[in-house]
Structures are given as C-alpha cells and as structure tokens.
C-alpha cells in the first residue's frame, strides 16, 4: 500500500515506486491511495495485466469494511477501484471507441467489475439476477472484441480495456 504523492517532490513518487516494484516482482499486489482522481494513475498500474492492483481515494479508509475488503481483494490478486475513480474514467477524456458500443447498463456492469465485484455482487448492487449479469458480460465481451479462447481472463481483459482508455 502506497500513497501516490510522496517526498521529496510530492508529485508521483509513490506511483513510480509501485511501478518499479512491479517490474522487479511481476504481479506484486499494490494498493494506491490518493487524495485526487488521476486517470493516468488509474490506467498505468494495471497496464501489465498481472492483477493485484487497486486505486482508492484516501477518504475510503474511513469506511473500514470497504477499505479492508479492497485490501484483501488486492492481496489475493484481484482489483479494487474506488467508485469515484471509475466514474471519472467513464466521463473524462477521449474514450476508446469500443467502449462507446456498450449500453449504459453494460457500462454499469463493467464499472462494478472494475471495482472487483463478482457477477453475484454486481447483480445484488444492480438488483438483477446473476444470469442477467452473465448475459450482460457476454454481450460486453463481444462488443469489446474479447474472445473466449481460454488464453486470458475475459473479466480482467475487459477491465483493462476500461481502465486503459486514452
């Protein structure tokens, strides 16, 4: 767990240290804390596709259950993205055109997936059945051009497409 802004410059030293640590130890779980939503930070850390990453706003640490849940997901190799970060990624900057093909509901599902939620948890949050969420994710994978080839985790690839918007 590391803060984005650290001494001596209070700029992005924490993020650079986290990226360097993941280059040395691929897949090293890293949870970034920040005071502000920065799209670059949210995209750069998971860019290697090796999981075990999170980006939370510091205000999240006041909700102990949410913070501990995020920490446990990241430590187990999953992802944890603050909902405010997800909202910023959806509304800020030019989008990857493949994401434009998604319906509002598919974008909601993808945003919750990016927070690290399972299909069951996404369904509970959106008041939909797990099978409905499965249908949305299957449609979403098709629209994003993510094949079911057995070589990659489609959920991770979809979340990375979502986070790597430029």
Model confidence at 8: pLDDT above 60: yes
Which domain does 125 fall in, by range? 94-166
Number of domains present in the structure of the chain: 2
Model confidence at 163: pLDDT above 70: no
Shared domain for 9 and 70, answered yes or no, is yes
CATH for 114 = 1.10.10.10
Say whether 79 sits in a helix, a strand or coil.
Answer: strand
Q: How confident is the model at residue 93 (pLDDT cuts 50, 70, 90)?
A: very low
Average pLDDT score over residue span 11-34 = 82
pLDDT in tens, 99-148: 778 888 998 898 888 877 889 999 999 999 999 999 999 888 888 877 77
The pair phi, psi for residue 41, each rounded to 5°, is -65, -40
CATH for 74 = 3.40.50.2300
pTM recorded for the entire structure: 0.55
User: To the nearest 10°, the Cα dihedral for 100, 103, 107, 113?
Assistant: -120
Shared domain for 163 and 124, answered yes or no, is yes
């Amino acid at each position: 767990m590391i803060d984005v802004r650290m001494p001596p410059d209070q700029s992005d030293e924490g993020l650079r240290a986290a990226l360097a640590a993941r280059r040395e130890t691929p897949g090293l779980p890293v949870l970034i804390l920040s005071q502000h939503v920065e799209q670059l930070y949210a995209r750069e850390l998971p860019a290697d596709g090796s999981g075990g990453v999170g980006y939370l706003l510091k205000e999240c640490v006041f909700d102990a259950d949410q913070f501990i849940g995020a920490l446990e997901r990241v430590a187990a190799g999953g992802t944890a993205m603050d909902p405010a970060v997800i909202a910023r990624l959806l509304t800020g900057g030019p989008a990857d055109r493949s994401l434009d093909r998604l319906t509002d509901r598919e974008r909601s599902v993808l945003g919750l997936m990016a927070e690290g939620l399972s299909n069951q948890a996404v369904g509970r949050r959106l008041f939909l059945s797990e099978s409905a969420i499965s249908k949305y994710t299957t449609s979403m994978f098709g629209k994003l051009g993510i094949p079911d080839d057995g070589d990659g985790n489609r959920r991770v690839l979809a979340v990375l497409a979502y986070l790597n918007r430029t």
